[in-house]
Amino acid sequence: MIETKRSLFDNLQNFFGFDNFKGEQEAIITNILAGNDTFVIMPTGGGKSMCYQLPALMSEGTAIVISPLIALMKNQVDQLRAFGGSDSIAHFLNSSLNKAEIGRVKEDVLSGKTKLLYVAPESLTKQENIDFLRLNQVSFVAVDEAHCISEWGHDFRPEYRKIRQVISNIGDNIPIIALTATATPKVQQDIQKNLQMNNATIYKSSFNRSNLFYEVRAKRNVIKEIVKFVKQNAGKSGIIYCLSRKKVEEVAEALNLNGVKALPYHAGLETKIRADTQDKFLMEDVDVIVATIAFGMGIDKPDVRYVIHHDMPKSMEGYYQETGRAGRDGGEGICVAFYSEKDIDKLQKFMKDKPVAEREIGTQILKEVIDYAESAVCRRKQLLHYFGENFNEAGCNNMCDNSCAHKEHFDGEEHLHKALSLIKQLGEKFDDHHVISVLMGLDNPQIHNYGHHLINEFGSGKDLGENLWNSLLRQALLNNYLAKDIDQYGLLHLTKIGNSFLDNPHSIRFIMNRPMGSTDDNDDSEDGPKQGGGALDTELLQMLRDLRKKIAKQKGLPPFVIFQDPSLEEMCTHYPINTEELKQISGVGAGKALKFGAQFVDLITKYVEDNEIDRPIDMVIKSAANKSALKVYIIQNIDRHLNLEDIAKSKGLNYEDILREVESIVNSGTKLNLNYFIDEVIDEDRQEEVFDYFRAAEIDSIDDALVELGPDEYTREEIQLMRIKFMSELGN
């Protein structure tokens, strides 16, 4: 158990196993322990939970942690207990508990054993819970995911608006700590105003997640691309987001057909199924979760290695939060998004029934996503600028696709001066679309209504093309020559820097947006981002992971609760052979070393004695199939032993078409059992003859086979069918 008389660092080391705080954690915790209101804006993976967990453990009384996600509460409670505390040290109070379980929680809280009580906002507002909490000494209240308070946030929860009133009903002068990972300046103001904590000490960390690699790809053969990517990252945990439930099911099915353990996750599934799915992901029984963008995962899993967006999200806040679920342990995190204009059209249609003002603001927020996807500028610079943070793209260190790519630059001095002058001339009352329309000479109704087709600047930039003006205005915003008021329909304003440029122009170069081109789907040689790696004993690492998984199953806990990947990797470098040495491993600590360490120490000791240290063996990666809806349909019906000709007719295909599709499936690595059909159309001895031919042949040409076996003996379709069987049985 933690001791309040110990120093901050002693408690950090003793309970959590860390030697140092991350970022501003120490200052934040000190501020909370002093009883001050605290506002923490920290990116996902920055260590927000430590900011309230450690001071709660060191304070008299119980800290109330308000969280919107039941799954997240359970995960955090399990982790706190695993760190060496008693089962009563942390509890959650929400709708998942029955009456008897609620009674046990309240008993532990009243006895003073519980230092952290996680509460859902809906449970917090119940009068019986307010009356109960009044009976206890509340050390402070932590409002996690505080952006849910704001109607301007991407995940508004009305219950959050009542939190301030409830806290006042529980007791007087209770300190508050509000925490969020995604908040624009507008949302930050709304949080402080609603929680009445305008005098709070604000700690705003950089939103930069330096370990994440950002990439946007043109959306072509997207399921094939996703399957290929996942197969290339076999054994790693990943999350794939889709816009619709139907697409979630389709992608999950395609992955499973390719030998990837994946499960769907969306609001249309029963609560129990969703809970089981989360548990399987945490326990590493499945590698990939495919989820709807609209339905939050709420999983505190630190070793998610990639996040893929099958569809672009509707806001940069959503994109940042969802990509932020990758690499929370500081390790590898790859974020790939697939972009197409059709997806944007769908998102715009979703907004058509909303009130005009809300629709206009939603359109401007969505436009930020479009600009992010289509721009050739450093992704990280764009993402951070959205949250009010200036970033020098040189610091990206080639951790985004745009930073790695070849760029086309253009001299922007004259063009920027023209654009800024026009914006000022128009009274700074129009958005970028209108400004570009004037420069390009597009006489649309809005231009005509304002008489802007009559000014000298109308059409003056037509020869330069729309792409140049889009590129220039986007980068004028990123470099602070302009500011955009999203709340006021995206109107452009000149900044101090912009006005200064008009008075004293200087040479400046901009990057031309590059159109989203098609990709070569047959090219599997693309390197992509570097996948990390070092002088690591991979054989021992696998043994330790297997042991971790075994212990996790025995304990009913997710594997990372036992030890996280960075701790296991450090064990594979330092080979600790006793408990004292194990305590020195980052992220272990005395509690974990004593609770879980014995079997790990025994395994490492035996491994060191046997001296069986092998070099890593490179994996041969098999290219994945393109599991389109048609291919999924074909595979399902072959599994049901339907006649190929019947399958073809049901989809309006002829026999040659269906054979081509089946061959494509088999050639991409999927094994199909067609014996039920082949046995009906080709005699067994003739099958063996063709099989023997292909077994000895140097090439798999059907024409050569027909010449060798005799065109009068076999049809082209029979040879093709046998070639499919041969490839499926021997190649896959």
What's the pLDDT at 97?
Answer: 84
**Residue 235 above 70 pLDDT?**
yes
**Residue 72 above 90 pLDDT?**
no
Cα 251 from Cα 561, distance rounded (Å): 29
pLDDT band at 447; cut points 50, 70, 90: very high
Maximum C-alpha span of the chain:
96
- Three-state DSSP at 563 gives coil
What's the pLDDT at 237?
Answer: 95
| Lookup: tokens for 301 | 């899993």
pLDDT band at 5; cut points 50, 70, 90: very low
**Residue 566 above 70 pLDDT?**
yes
What's the pLDDT at 618?
Answer: 28
pLDDT band at 591; cut points 50, 70, 90: low
pLDDT band at 341; cut points 50, 70, 90: confident
**CATH topology (fold) of 8-204:** Rossmann fold (3.40.50)
Identify the residue with better confidence: 578 or 213.
Answer: 213
409: exposed, middle or buried (Cβ count in 10 Å: 0-12, 13-18, 19+): exposed
Domain with CATH 1.10.10.1390 in the chain: 629-731
What's the pLDDT at 175?
Answer: 95
Quickly list H helices, 557-674.
Answer: 559-562, 565-574, 579-583, 589-610, 629-639, 644-650, 655-667
Identify the residue with better confidence: 466 or 520.
Answer: 466
Distance of CA 603 to CAs 463, 583, 597, 607, Å?
Answer: 71, 16, 10, 6
**CATH topology (fold) of 212-404:** Rossmann fold (3.40.50)
Q: Which of 326, 256, 317 is nearest to 286 (CA)?
A: 256
pLDDT tens digits, 181-217: 877 778 888 899 999 998 999 999 888 999 999 999 9
Task: Report residue 501 CA to chain centroid gap.
Answer: 39
pLDDT tens digits, 127-142: 999 999 999 999 999 9
Phi and psi at 23, nearest 5°, equal: 55, -125
**Residue 407 above 50 pLDDT?**
yes
Q: Which of 26, 23, 28, 24 is nearest to 12 (CA)?
A: 26
**Minimum mean pLDDT range among 112-121, 300-309, 551-560:** 551-560
Cα 365 from Cα 169, distance rounded (Å): 37
Are the beta carbons of 379 and 214 closer than 8 angstroms?
yes
**Minimum mean pLDDT range among 161-165, 179-183, 476-480, 554-558:** 554-558
What's the pLDDT at 494?
Answer: 96
Cα 290 from Cα 269, distance rounded (Å): 13
Q: Give the CB-side neighbour count of residue 501, counting CA atoms within 13 A.
A: 24
Interval 17-32 mean pLDDT: 90
Interval 150-166 mean pLDDT: 79
Quickly list H helices, 258-408.
Answer: 271-282, 316-323, 341-350, 356-374, 379-386, 401-404
Quickly list H helices, 611-715.
Answer: 629-639, 644-650, 655-667, 675-681, 684-696, 702-709
157: exposed, middle or buried (Cβ count in 10 Å: 0-12, 13-18, 19+): middle
pLDDT tens digits, 483-536: 988 767 789 999 999 999 999 999 999 999 977 754 333 333 333 333 333 356
pLDDT band at 6; cut points 50, 70, 90: low
Radius of gyration of the chain (CA): 30
Q: Does domain 409-511 fall into CATH 1.10.10.10?
A: yes
Output the average pLDDT for the chain.
Answer: 84
Cα 628 from Cα 470, distance rounded (Å): 35
Are the beta carbons of 59 and 4 closer than 8 angstroms?
yes
Domain with CATH 1.10.150.80 in the chain: 538-610
- Three-state DSSP at 66 gives strand
Quickly list H helices, 330-450.
Answer: 341-350, 356-374, 379-386, 401-404, 413-425, 432-440, 445-450
What's the pLDDT at 430?
Answer: 94
Interior angle at CA 230, CA 227 and CA 232, nearest 5: 110
pLDDT band at 698; cut points 50, 70, 90: low
pLDDT tens digits, 395-406: 899 999 999 888
Tell me the pairing of strands 90-93 and 116-119. Answer: parallel
Phi and psi at 333, nearest 5°, equal: -150, 115
**CATH topology (fold) of 538-610:** DNA polymerase; domain 1 (1.10.150)
Task: Report residue 676 CA to chain centroid gap.
Answer: 43
- Three-state DSSP at 482 gives strand
Interior angle at CA 376, CA 374 and CA 381, nearest 5: 100
Phi and psi at 124, nearest 5°, equal: -60, -35
Task: Report residue 541 CA to chain centroid gap.
Answer: 25
Interval 53-68 mean pLDDT: 92
pLDDT band at 616; cut points 50, 70, 90: very low
Q: Which of 223, 241, 309, 226 is nearest to 629 (CA)?
A: 223
**Residue 450 above 80 pLDDT?**
yes
Identify the residue with better confidence: 612 or 25.
Answer: 25
What's the pLDDT at 631?
Answer: 81
What's the pLDDT at 13?
Answer: 84
**CATH topology (fold) of 629-731:** Arc Repressor Mutant, subunit A (1.10.10)
- Give whichever of 408-412, 626-630, 666-670, 720-724 has the largest mean pLDDT: 408-412
Any idea what DSSP says for residue 729?
Answer: I
- Beta bridge partners, 92, equal 118
Any idea what DSSP says for residue 44?
Answer: T
- Three-state DSSP at 302 gives coil
Domain with CATH 3.40.50.300 in the chain: 8-204, 212-404
- Beta bridge partners, 218, equal 339
Cα 79 from Cα 92, distance rounded (Å): 13
What's the pLDDT at 558?
Answer: 67
Q: Tokens 């000298």, residue?
A: 456
Identity at 617, one-letter amino acid code:
I
**Residue 38 above 50 pLDDT?**
yes
Interval 676-691 mean pLDDT: 88
- Give whichever of 291-295, 362-366, 453-457, 627-631 has the largest mean pLDDT: 453-457
Sign of the C-alpha dihedral computed for residues 324, 325, 328 and 330 taken in this order: negative
What's the pLDDT at 139?
Answer: 94
What's the pLDDT at 529?
Answer: 33
